[in-house]
Structures are given as C-alpha cells and as structure tokens.
Structure 1
Amino acid sequence: MKISEQLVLVTGAGRGLGAALARAFAREGARVLVNYHRSRDAAEALAGELGQGALALQADVRDRGAVAAMLEQAQRHFGAPVATVVNNALMDFSFNGDARAKADSIDWQDFSRQFEGSVQGALNTVQAALPGMRTQGFGRIINIGTNLFQNPVVPYHDYTAAKAALLSLTRTLAGDLGPDGITVNMLSGGLLRTTDASAATPEAVFDYIAANTPLRQVTTPAEFADAALFFASPWARSVTGQNLVVDGGLVRD
C-alpha cells in the first residue's frame, strides 16, 4: 500500500518530533491522525495546517479504552482503518543530563512511568489497530526508540530501559504479526535539535555530538521523520523486526 493510500496514526503528534512525523506523512499524501494527550491547541493547529486529510484526536495512550475509541472515531471520519501506527508518545521527560536521576536516587515510579508510556502505550495502539490491519491484509507499526542502547553517554536509566523493552516488543511482535502482512520496526535517534524534550540540553552537548558525527551536525526532527517514511513505504515490505538508527552516524553498530 502506498503511503498516499494510508491512514497514519502518530501518537504524541501535537508537538516536537511527533509534529515533524505528522508533517512528513502528510507531505507524502497520507491522511494523518494527530493524537495528543494534553497539547490540544497545538494538535488542532497542526491538523488545520495539514488540511482536510488530518484529524486531531485526544487519547492518553496508556488508556486502552480511550485508544480504541480514538481509532473507531478516526475510521468513521475517514472511512478507512489505520494502516500505519507510529508510536512516538513520550511521557514527561527532559533530556538534561545535569538533572537526571542517578543510580542511588532514582525511584521505581520513574521506571514505571516510562514503561507505561512506551510499552503499554504501544501495546494499546497495536491492539486497537490490529482488526483494521488484518481486514486490509496490511499494516505498518513503527516504534520510536533511542541510540542510547548502544551509546549510553548519559545514563537516563528509566527512559533507556523502557525503550529497550520497546525494542524487544518490536521484535516479538514482528514474529507474531508477520503472517498477517504486518511489519513492526523501530526507528532510533539520538539527541534531536531541537524538541521540547531536548530544549533543556546545554548547547555544549549539541556541539559535542555534532563534532563526533560523520555529518558534523545534530539530526533535526524533520530529518529523523523522513526516515520513518521508509518503513511505511512499499520499499520496506520485506523489512521487519529491525532497529534503524538515524543519528548522523554517531552510533555505528
């Protein structure tokens, strides 16, 4: 299925990377479901910017019932089920290494919050989208990860552990859903210049990362979002269970 024929759900699309992902898919002609949790004004403004092919709907991805209701409403509105799910939503997190919770002080609730957002949230969206994907005989699930697996330059213990669990879920879902024509992949970035989550990052950190990439620059949200198009496109029809790192070549593993 071409991207221009798809209805694409982007979670956490009201701002930051999510907004860049929504714009990338809309640019290629997809209809886009702009999910948001609290950023109503930003999400509705983005949907207005993207035109009639976009719809902003609220749902906390941790709430299975709310996610199912959101997809049902979207299907009624567009007359088609979701074909691609981009699990981008991030629970409140700031990439500020100076303020991170360290090993002797971090609380399990920090881990639980990130696991609920990344893993439970992804499970809820996948389960809600599965009936429609199976009806179409087509589905694309794209989970947003991190290069901190390979390069934990700042030990964000809770965030990285949750994303590592999401990578594991990516690979087990790929095996489970492949016979249904559904691929499941992860797209992992490093620090992006700039999102709400990375706004607290000192400029010196951006400079350090840029100096250590072959491209000598920090990846932008728009550049990262473009890579997501590959996984949803016909060119990736035989690609599943993979983790593609998009960070300007900082991590080469």
Structure 2
Amino acid sequence: MQLSEQIVLVTGAGRGLGREIALAFAREGARVVVNYRRSREAAEALVAQTGDRAIALQADVTDRVQIDALYAQARAHFGADITTVVNNALVDFAFDGDARAKADTIDWPAFAAQFEGSVRGALHTVQAALPGMRAQRFGRVINIGTNLFQNPVVPYHDYTAAKAALLSLTRTLAGDLGPDGITVNMLSGGLLRTTDASAATPEAVFDYIAASTPLRTVTTPAEFADAVLFFASPWSRAVTGQNLVVDGGLVRD
C-alpha cells in the first residue's frame, strides 16, 4: 500500500518527534491521526498546518477504553480503518543525565510508569488496530525505541528497560502477525536535537555526541521521521521484526 493510501496513527504527535513524524506522513499524502494526551493546542495547530488530511484526537494510550474511542472516531472521520500505527508516545521523561535517578535511589513506580507508556500503550494501539488490519490483509506497526539499550552511555534505568521490553514485543508481534500481512518494526534513535524531552540536555553533551558520529552531527527529529517512512512504505514489505538504529552512525552493531 502506498503511503498516500494509508491512514496513520501517530501517538504523542502534538509535539516533539511525534509532530515531525506526523508532518512527514502528511507530506507524502497520508491521512494522519494526530494523537495527543495534553497538548491539544499544539495538535490542533499541526492539523491546521496539514489541511483536511489530518485529525487531532485526544487519548491516553495506557487506557484501552480511550484508545478504542479514538479508533472509532478516526474510522468515522476517514471512512476507513487505520492501516499504520506509530507508537511514539512517551510518558513524562526528561533526558537530563545529571538529574537521573541512580541505581540506589530509583524506585519501582518509575519503571512501572515507563512500562505502562511504552509496552501497555503499544499493546493497546496494536490490539485496537488488528480487526481493520486483518480485514485489509495489510498493516504497519512502527515502534519508537532507543539506542541506549545497545549503548547505555547514560543509564536511564527505567526508560531503557521499558524500551528494551518494547523491542521484545516488536519481535514477538512480528512473528505472530506476519501471516496476516502485518509487519512490526522498531526505529531506535539517540539523543535528538532538539525535543521537549532533550531540552534539558547540556549543549556540551550534544557537541560530544556530534563529534562521536561519522556524520559529525546530532540527528534531528525531522531526519528521524524520514526513516520512519521507510517502514511504512512498500519498499519495506519484506522487513519485519527489525530494529533500525537512526543516530548518525553512533551505534554500529
């Protein structure tokens, strides 16, 4: 299915990386569901920017009832089911290495919050999408991960553990849903320059990362979003269960 024929749900699309992903799909002619939890004004401004091919819908991905309602609203608006899901929503988190909770102080509720957002949220969006995807014999699930579980230069214990679990879910879902024509993949970025979550990162850290990459630059949200398009496009039709690292070549394994 061409990108221009797809109906794409981007969770957490009101701002940051999600906003750039939604814009990238809209640029290619896809119809886009701009999901947000609290960023209503930003989501509606994004929809205004993309024209009549997008709709802003509020839902907390950790609440299955809200996700089911979102899918029903999207179906009523577009007259068809969502074909493509980008699980981008991030439970409140700031990439500030100096302020991170260390091994002797971090508590389980911090882990639970990240698992709720990353794993439970993805499970809800995928399960809600399955009837429509199976009916069409087509589906694309794209999960957003991190290169920190391959290169834990800053041990964000809770965030990294949740994203590692999401990679595991990515691979088991790929095996389960492949016979239905549904692919499930992950893209893992490093620190992006700049999102709300990375705004607390000192400039010296960005400079250090840039100097460590073959491209001598820090990946931007717009550059990362372009890579997301690949996994939704016809060119990735034989790719599933994979994790593509998009960080300018910082992690190469």
TM-score, with normalisation over the residues of structure 1?
1.00
Rounded to whole Å, the distance in 1 between the matches of 2:68 and 2:129 is: 8
Rounded to whole Å, the distance in 2 between the matches of 1:206 and 1:73 is: 40
Which position in structure 2 is the counterpart of 1:80? 80
What is the DSSP-based 3-state SS (H/G/I as helix, E as strand, rest coil) of the residue aligned with 2:95? coil
Which position in structure 1 is the counterpart of 2:223? 223
Rounded to whole Å, the distance in 1 between the matches of 2:94 and 2:80 is: 36
Rounded to whole Å, the distance in 1 between the matches of 2:35 and 2:47 is: 10
Shift of 1:152: 0.2
Which position in structure 2 is the counterpart of 1:115? 115
Which position in structure 1 is the counterpart of 2:238? 238
Percent identical residues: 81
CA RMSD of aligned residues (A): 0.3
Which position in structure 1 is the counterpart of 2:164? 164
> Is 2:95 the partner of 1:95?
yes
Rounded to whole Å, the distance in 1 between the matches of 2:189 and 2:252 is: 12
Which position in structure 1 is the counterpart of 2:38? 38
Rounded to whole Å, the distance in 2 between the matches of 1:238 and 1:65 is: 33
* Post-superposition CA distance 1:96-146 (Å, at most 9, x none): 000000000001000000000000000000000110001111000000000
Which position in structure 2 is the counterpart of 1:60? 60
Shift of 1:5: 0.1
What is the DSSP-based 3-state SS (H/G/I as helix, E as strand, rest coil) of the residue aligned with 1:32? strand
Rounded to whole Å, the distance in 1 between the matches of 2:215 and 2:196 is: 23
Shift of 1:242: 0.0
After TM superposition, what 4+ stretches of structure 1 lie above 4 angstroms from structure 2?
none
Which position in structure 1 is the counterpart of 2:17? 17
Aligned-partner residue type, residue 37 of structure 1: R
Unaligned runs of 5+ in 2: none
* Post-superposition CA distance 1:57-97 (Å, at most 9, x none): 00000000100110111011001100000000000000000
What is the DSSP-based 3-state SS (H/G/I as helix, E as strand, rest coil) of the residue aligned with 1:127? helix
Rounded to whole Å, the distance in 1 between the matches of 2:80 and 2:190 is: 34
What is the DSSP-based 3-state SS (H/G/I as helix, E as strand, rest coil) of the residue aligned with 1:114? helix
Which position in structure 2 is the counterpart of 1:196? 196
* Post-superposition CA distance 1:188-217 (Å, at most 9, x none): 000000000000000010000000000000
Rounded to whole Å, the distance in 1 between the matches of 2:136 and 2:79 is: 13
Aligned-partner residue type, residue 156 of structure 2: Y
- 1:151-190 equivalences under 5 Å are 151-190=151-190
Rounded to whole Å, the distance in 2 between the matches of 1:68 and 1:182 is: 20
Rounded to whole Å, the distance in 2 between the matches of 1:72 and 1:236 is: 28
Which position in structure 1 is the counterpart of 2:132? 132
Shift of 1:178: 0.2
Rounded to whole Å, the distance in 2 between the matches of 1:238 and 1:82 is: 21
Shift of 1:149: 1.1
Rounded to whole Å, the distance in 1 between the matches of 2:199 and 2:122 is: 25
Aligned-partner residue type, residue 206 of structure 2: F
Count, aligned residues:
253
Rounded to whole Å, the distance in 1 between the matches of 2:195 and 2:238 is: 32
Which position in structure 1 is the counterpart of 2:51? 51
Aligned-partner residue type, residue 244 of structure 2: L
Which position in structure 2 is the counterpart of 1:214? 214
What is the DSSP-based 3-state SS (H/G/I as helix, E as strand, rest coil) of the residue aligned with 1:52? helix
Shift of 1:15: 0.1
Shift of 1:54: 0.2
Rounded to whole Å, the distance in 2 between the matches of 1:40 and 1:107 is: 31
